[in-house]
Amino acid sequence: MKIIRDPKRMQAQAAAWRAEGKRIGLVPTMGYLHAGHLSLVRLAAARADVVVVSIFVNPTQFGPREDLNRYPRDFVRDRSNCRGAGVDAIFYPAAAAMYPPDYSVYVNEERLSAGLCGARRPGHFRGVCTVVAKLFNLVSPHVAVFGEKDAQQLRVLRRMTRDLNFPIEIVAGPIAREPDGLALSSRNTYLTPAQRRAAPELRRALEETAARYSAGERSAARLRAALRRRLARIPGARVDYVELVDDATLRPVRRVEKPALVALAVWFGKTRLIDNLRLGG
Amino acid sequence: MKIIRDPKRMQAQAAAWRAEGKRIGLVPTMGYLHAGHLSLVRLAAARADVVVVSIFVNPTQFGPREDLNRYPRDFVRDRSNCRGAGVDAIFYPAAAAMYPPDYSVYVNEERLSAGLCGARRPGHFRGVCTVVAKLFNLVSPHVAVFGEKDAQQLRVLRRMTRDLNFPIEIVAGPIAREPDGLALSSRNTYLTPAQRRAAPELRRALEETAARYSAGERSAARLRAALRRRLARIPGARVDYVELVDDATLRPVRRVEKPALVALAVWFGKTRLIDNLRLGG
């Protein structure tokens, strides 16, 4: 397994693979890999000859008061996990190599990123789109895999890929969960034991919303209100947002008649967790 | 010579050329080709095995009160000029194929595009960067050629290429001029006979600035004031801007000690012409 730090070397390696006719799969990550990331690696491996995992805690997608500095890092463990998963190369650039001092170009998605996490984290998707556009040009993948946990990110990046005409197939990986239902996230490591015990309630609350939908409830306001009440009962939880949005446009819906996304972000102390569920279709 | 209208077909053609080991050169244009464009085609041909000229009057780089609708078009003549210049393919997409109704992704350069034409034409370089990023992904060139007449555009696009890590060499073509010194531009066709007679004074005014610089003048304020006075004497001319800026950062300079760019935009009636000259280095 190659460890590539220099962007120019990554680009040269990608060109060499392409010249050999190899299909390249990319799994962009911020490291601190868990079973969710490794499930994305398997999806990439099934669709490509070589798999690159990028590990980069991207500063441009963090707000000034967010957790950039405390974001968990463990390259030795990540390397071992990647080796075990049959990854061909880790692209592990330094921040200064990705963003020189006079860096000045950003990619903005202006519609799908307006609500949900985008409304709560100004500039977040600008940073995400920018770094992923850079990774696409550095790794030159045929296929790139992103997780459904970051539902808005997945849709924003599909749109970016379409609108900027990147010749890349975007594959979505289903949310990986702990046995008790908590969605896997590198940020789960921040949780205190009490918060960790409470956090699986997010998933149960979403399942209750799905049950209400299955029982015939189609009013977004009623589904949302019930979910919000349910979340309010979780010890130590503070709702950041709860939304029912159209699955394609991410705009709030009044009635769930087309596929919809129930998306939530909840604070446990200083830790913000997200989860989501699709309804219909 | 191929005429390719469908973006997906363009991308497939580019992939086929790459699979054959061909080097691809791209000359992005808005059509109504003149000898300046054709000089860029020659630069591309010298560096590539196949040359693509894109012809696309890009709506996103025009402001709401600008000349999008009256911008000159003559595809039949362009096609004949391209054939004569040995172009391998014209990429000639429809606006709706480049920008579907729910289009939402834009590329912004945030520093170099702040002044000069960027200050006078809000959103212009956002449109330019966006369409060029799209063209890069559709044509997949090894080398792309842009003219020095659009000096700020050239620098903004070099920066975009660097910052988004496009694996593409950017080549600059020198300004092509009429025998009387007027910089070639598709917009020259808008000029009335009297405006056309006056317009070459722009170049002469720039040459006088170069002469003052050669004679030892280094004060940007004095060079600029003399140039502005000179331009004010041109019949029918109204100055949009005159600037002396650092050639790399495009920030205004006080003294010309490093390579500088003298850039101007001047209205003749409803027609806005630009020209520029480098000082030093």
Contact B167 A7 (CB under 8 A): no
* pLDDT for position A96: 98
Query: In this complex, which of B134, B159, B165 lies closest to A7 when CB atoms are compared?
Result: B165
Distance (Å, rounded) from C-alpha A86 to C-alpha A243?
38
Antiparallel, parallel or unpaired: β B237-246 and B260-268: antiparallel
Give domain status of residue A181, yes or no: no
Could you tell me if B8 lies within 8 Å of chain A, comparing CB atoms?
A: no
Is the pLDDT at B79 greater than 80, yes or no? yes
Q: Cα angle vertex B96, ends B94, B101, to 5°?
A: 170
Whether residues B239 and B130 share a domain: the answer is no
Whether residues A122 and A37 share a domain: the answer is yes
Distance (Å, rounded) from C-alpha A86 to C-alpha A1?
8
Distance (Å, rounded) from C-alpha B125 to C-alpha B112?
10
Could you tell me if B106 lies within 8 Å of chain A, comparing CB atoms?
A: yes
B216: domain CATH number is 3.30.1300.10
Distance (Å, rounded) from C-alpha B148 to C-alpha A141?
33
Antiparallel, parallel or unpaired: β A271-279 and A260-268: antiparallel
Contact B164 A140 (CB under 8 A): no
Q: CA quadruple A51, B143, B151, B280: dihedral positive or negative?
A: positive
Pick the last residue of a domain from A108, A141, A173.
A173
Distance from CA of A71 to the nearest CA of B (A): 25
Distance (Å, rounded) from C-alpha A3 to C-alpha A10?
9
Query: In this complex, which of B104, B137, B164 lies closest to A165 when CB atoms are compared?
Result: B137
Contact A166 B137 (CB under 8 A): yes
In chain A, residues with a C-beta closer than 8 Å to the C-beta of B163 are 103-105, 134
Instruction: Using alpha carbons, select from B137, B136, B138, B145 the residue that is nearest to residue B176.
Output: B145
Range of the domain at A61: 2-173
Whether residues A14 and A113 share a domain: the answer is yes
Whether residues A250 and A145 share a domain: the answer is no
Query: In this complex, which of B108, B140, B160 lies closest to A108 when CB atoms are compared?
Result: B108
Polymer length of chain B: 281
* pLDDT for position A35: 97
* pLDDT for position B2: 98
DSSP state of A181: S
Count CA atoms within 13 Å of residue A164 on its CB side.
34
3-state secondary structure of A268: strand
Interface of A with B in 140-179 (CB under 8 A): 140, 159-160, 163-167
Could you tell me if B97 lies within 8 Å of chain A, comparing CB atoms?
A: no
- Rounded mean pLDDT, A248-275: 97
pLDDT tens for each residue of A154-204: 999 999 999 999 999 999 999 999 999 999 999 999 999 999 999 999 999
A37 in active site = yes
Q: In chain B, which residue's Cα lies nearest the Cα of A18?
A: B19
Distance (Å, rounded) from C-alpha B154 to C-alpha B138?
20
Contact A105 B163 (CB under 8 A): yes
Is the pLDDT at A266 greater than 80, yes or no? yes
A143: domain CATH number is 3.40.50.620
Instruction: Using alpha carbons, select from A185, A203, A189 the residue that is nearest to residue A36.
Output: A185
Whether residues A17 and A72 share a domain: the answer is yes
pLDDT tens for each residue of B192-220: 999 999 999 999 999 999 999 999 999 99
Count CA atoms within 13 Å of residue B94 on its CB side.
5
Distance (Å, rounded) from C-alpha B170 to C-alpha B108?
18
Give the C-alpha distances (Å, rounded to integers) separating A84 from A2, A43, A176, B115: 13, 15, 18, 52
Give domain status of residue A179, yes or no: no
- In terms of DSSP H, where are the helices of chain A? 7-19, 35-47, 75-84, 95-98, 116-120, 124-139, 151-163, 193-198, 201-214, 220-232
Distance (Å, rounded) from C-alpha A50 to C-alpha A274?
31
Confidence class for position A207, pLDDT limits 50, 70, 90? very high
Whether residues A6 and A122 share a domain: the answer is yes
In chain B, residues with a C-beta closer than 8 Å to the C-beta of A133 are 133, 164
* pLDDT for position B23: 98
Could you tell me if B15 lies within 8 Å of chain A, comparing CB atoms?
A: yes
Pick the last residue of a domain from B173, B201, B226.
B173
Whether residues B18 and B128 share a domain: the answer is yes
Query: In this complex, which of B104, B165, B166 lies closest to A163 when CB atoms are compared?
Result: B104
Whether residues A133 and A193 share a domain: the answer is no
Query: In this complex, which of B137, B164, B249 lies closest to A105 when CB atoms are compared?
Result: B164
Contact B11 A167 (CB under 8 A): yes
Distance (Å, rounded) from C-alpha A89 to C-alpha A2?
4
Whether residues A18 and A135 share a domain: the answer is yes
In chain A, residues with a C-beta closer than 8 Å to the C-beta of B104 are 109-112, 159, 163
How many structural domains is chain B composed of? 2
Give domain status of residue B212, yes or no: yes
Average pLDDT, chain A: 97
In chain A, residues with a C-beta closer than 8 Å to the C-beta of B111 are 102, 104
Give domain status of residue A113, yes or no: yes
Query: In this complex, which of A110, A137, A160 lies closest to B165 when CB atoms are compared?
Result: A137
User: Which helix H or strand E contains B186, and what residues bound it?
Assistant: none
Collect all residues with Cβ–Cβ distance below 8 Å to B223 and sequence separation of at least 6.
B209, B212, B213, B217, B244, B256, B262
Distance from CA of B60 to the nearest CA of A (A): 13
Is the pLDDT at B44 greater than 90, yes or no? yes
Pick the last residue of a domain from B122, B139, B173.
B173
Please name the residue that has the structure tokens 């012809």. Answer: B55
Please report the number of interchain residue pairs, chain A to chain B, with beta-carbon separation below 8 angstroms.
80
Is the pLDDT at B281 greater than 90, yes or no? no
In chain A, residues with a C-beta closer than 8 Å to the C-beta of B170 are none
Q: Is A162 exposed, middle or buried (0-12, 13-18, 19+ CB in 10 A)?
A: middle
* pLDDT for position B86: 96
Confidence class for position B264, pLDDT limits 50, 70, 90? very high
Interface of B with A in 226-265 (CB under 8 A): 249
Give domain status of residue B181, yes or no: no
Antiparallel, parallel or unpaired: β B24-29 and B50-55: parallel
Q: CA quadruple B37, B39, B40, B41: dihedral positive or negative?
A: positive
Distance (Å, rounded) from C-alpha B184 to C-alpha B176?
6
Is the pLDDT at B242 greater than 80, yes or no? yes
Distance (Å, rounded) from C-alpha B51 to C-alpha B30?
16
Give domain status of residue A281, yes or no: no
Give domain status of residue A178, yes or no: no
Distance (Å, rounded) from C-alpha A227 to C-alpha A256?
15
Is the pLDDT at B233 greater than 90, yes or no? yes
Q: Cα angle vertex B108, ends B136, B165, to 5°?
A: 45
pTM: 0.97
In chain B, residues with a C-beta closer than 8 Å to the C-beta of A130 are 164
Whether residues B105 and B244 share a domain: the answer is no
Could you tell me if A75 lies within 8 Å of chain B, comparing CB atoms?
A: no
The first and second tokens of residue A73, run together, are 């890092």
Give the C-alpha distances (Å, rounded to integers) separating A211 from A179, A219, A265: 20, 13, 20
Give domain status of residue B179, yes or no: no
Confidence class for position B61, pLDDT limits 50, 70, 90? very high
Whether residues B8 and B130 share a domain: the answer is yes
Whether residues A6 and A121 share a domain: the answer is yes
**β-sheet bridge partners, residue B183:** B177
Distance from CA of B151 to the nearest CA of A (A): 18
Q: What is the DSSP string of A57-98?
A: --GGGS-TTSSTTTS---HHHHHHHHHHTT-SEEE---HHHH
pLDDT tens for each residue of A9-21: 999 999 999 999 9
